Amino acid sequence: MPEHLELLVVPYLANQLYFDSEEEWANGDYEHGAEGILQFYQELFEMEAIEEVINLLSFLNTQKMNRNDNCFCGKKEKLKRCHLQTYNIVKDLSKRRIEYDILALKWLSKKLLKLKSI
């Protein structure tokens, strides 16, 4: 099977079949573009403020953490007992993907600030 079919088409069709039977998307239902990127990270990090999301995502993209490090959330717990699953989800994304997401979120932040000032 060609690689693009395996990487793009098969997951799309599997998700579509899931939607047809369950009436919801397997990976959640997000907006398109930067708004959807923000929704994904807000749910993942359990935070609302776009600037906090950008800062945490930037930190996780540049810092390597070990299981025994204090968790990035600020609690006095080790990462392995706090947000290890969240950290692993971010680390499974490519650096390029995260950098793109950070740029999209910064763009969205500026857009939202302009709308607020109107």
Q: Answer yes or no: do 70 and 103 share one domain.
A: yes
Domain that holds residue 18: 1-30
What b/e sequence results for 87-108 when a residue is b if at least 16 CB atoms lie within 10 Å of its CB, and e otherwise?
Answer: beebeeeeeeebeebbebbeeb
pLDDT in tens, 43-79: 999 999 999 999 999 999 999 999 999 999 988 999 9
How many domains does the chain fold into? 2
**Percentage with pLDDT > 90 across the chain:** 66
pTM higher than the cut 0.95: no
Pair (44, 58) in one structural domain: yes
pLDDT-derived band at 86 (thresholds 50, 70, 90) equals very high
